[in-house]
Amino acid sequence: MANLPKMAEIWQKTLNWQPTNLQENQFEQLYQLIIGGNRQINLTRITEPEEFWEKHLWDSLRGIAPKQIFIPGIDRGKRIIDIGTGAGFPGLPIALIFPNSQVTLLDSTGKKINFIETVLSALALNNAKTLLGRAEEIGQQYEHRQNYDVAVIRAVGNVSVCAEYSLPLVRKGGLAIIYRGSWSEAENESLETAIEQLGGVVELIEEFSTPLSNSMRHCLYLRKVTNTPISFPRGVGIPSQKPI
Ligand code: SAM
């Protein structure tokens, strides 16, 4: 099986950062585990080494580096939740490079959570844990609601669904980061309406392209400024059926 490319210069140029040898080895191990896991369950269609590097590793880490610099203090015990993590993106690469952060990987599919459990033990990754459940329910649970410094969410739903899943989980002053491909003015309007009701404001919308295939990306950084009303998130299925 082919190995992942290292891309030291691109890491440096795009994120002002380079992985250590240990982190490079862990990225490689993660890649091999996902390719192996893909034979049993459908984890990802992105399997070619360069594409995997760009769309899973680089993209995951670029999102937590607004303005190409990692969020200050993210490695100092920050609580991070990845909502709808799937095969572990963006949460697993974040946990790998910030061993002092505490990363919760949430997904509603048991098979994916079981797979991630095997990855966590294979990589001896003890700053990450899994959580099986629906964001609509987890967001109403005392131990999770308004408990996280940062929530990340990629490819889970439209923008108001992502905002309704993520903002209730973020503490006041914390950040929800919505990873997107394209972005339009019309979406901007629905975002404003949604986040106003959820206690957030738009701090930054960043547009950039990926370094190998030059694909368009947008990351939305939402700052939580007031408590989310208890009526959000609404019940299972409602955010996607009737977006705010
Ligand atoms: N975030 C990953 C990525 O970008 O590669 C996976 C994206 S995958 C398209 C969407 C994932 O979100 C699936 O694994 C699905 O089980 C999960 N999901 C969808 N709705 C959810 C919900 N309401 N609560 C928790 N997980 C959810």
The per-residue DSSP string of 177-202 comes to: EEEES---HHHHHHHHHHHHHHTEEE
- Spatial distance between the Cα atoms of 144 and 55, rounded to a whole number of angstroms: 29
* Ligand 1 contacts CB of residue 108 (under 6 A): yes
Angle (nearest 5°) at CA 113 between 108 and 117: 160
The first and second tokens of residue 113, run together, are 């959570």
**H helix runs in 131-237, sequence order:** 135-138, 159-166, 185-198
The pLDDT confidence band at residue 212, using thresholds 50, 70 and 90, is very high
What residue has token string 């991630």? 116
Burial 211-231 (b: 16+ CB within 10 A, else e): beeeeebbbbbbbbeeebeee
Expressed in angstroms and rounded, the spacing between residue 21 Cα and the centre of ligand 1 is: 30
* Ligand 1 contacts CB of residue 112 (under 6 A): yes
Best residue among 136, 156, 169 to mutate for probing ligand 1, ranked by most atoms within 8 Å of CB = 156
The pLDDT confidence band at residue 77, using thresholds 50, 70 and 90, is confident
pLDDT at 187: 84
The pLDDT confidence band at residue 105, using thresholds 50, 70 and 90, is very high
Question: Is residue 91 pLDDT above 90, yes or no?
Answer: yes
Model ipTM over 0.90: yes
Expressed in angstroms and rounded, the spacing between residue 126 Cα and the centre of ligand 1 is: 22
Global pTM?
0.98
Question: Is residue 160 pLDDT above 90, yes or no?
Answer: yes
